[in-house]
Amino acid sequence: MTMGAGGAGGVAGAIGSAGGDTSVGGVCLARGGSGGGGMATGTTVRVQNPGIGGVASTGTGDIKANGGAGGAGMQLNTTTTGYSGYGGESIFGSGAKGVIVGVVGNPALSYGGGGGGAASQAAGNLTGGVGFQGIVRITEFK
């Protein structure tokens, strides 16, 4: 049995890393979602597309569900206004909340959830929140 680790938050404007795969030998497999995009500080209004959730069709098992995409982050100007994207949700709960300028990203709080993005003022780049690990549920029938 392998429990996929949550993806690491992006550092200094880089993209976040993908979540790890969760599996029970060759019986079932759940793929981790992609990391969200990164955005360095700058002087223009811009939007960063979010990462996509894990795709159920690439896994194996009796019950499969796609992971949700995260939310887009937006920079409105260089000194005071912007917000980060939220982390993607899973069937076990929501991803982390996004933040307003000047703080690191929130970590995910539920199995399979994505971490929230960081939001920085002109002071520099910050690190996004980490995703939560995968989960396996085994039901035995008599």
pLDDT digits (tens, 9 = 90+) for 28-85: 888 888 888 777 766 677 788 888 888 777 778 877 788 888 888 888 776 667 888 8
What is the mean pLDDT of the segment spanning 100-116? Answer: 87
Residue 21 confidence (pLDDT) = 86
Q: How does pLDDT run across 123-140, given as a tens digit for each residue?
A: 577 888 899 888 887 788
- The residue extents of the domains of the chain are 1-142
| 106 — pLDDT class (breaks 50, 70, 90) | very high
Report the 10 Å Cβ neighbour count for 142: 2
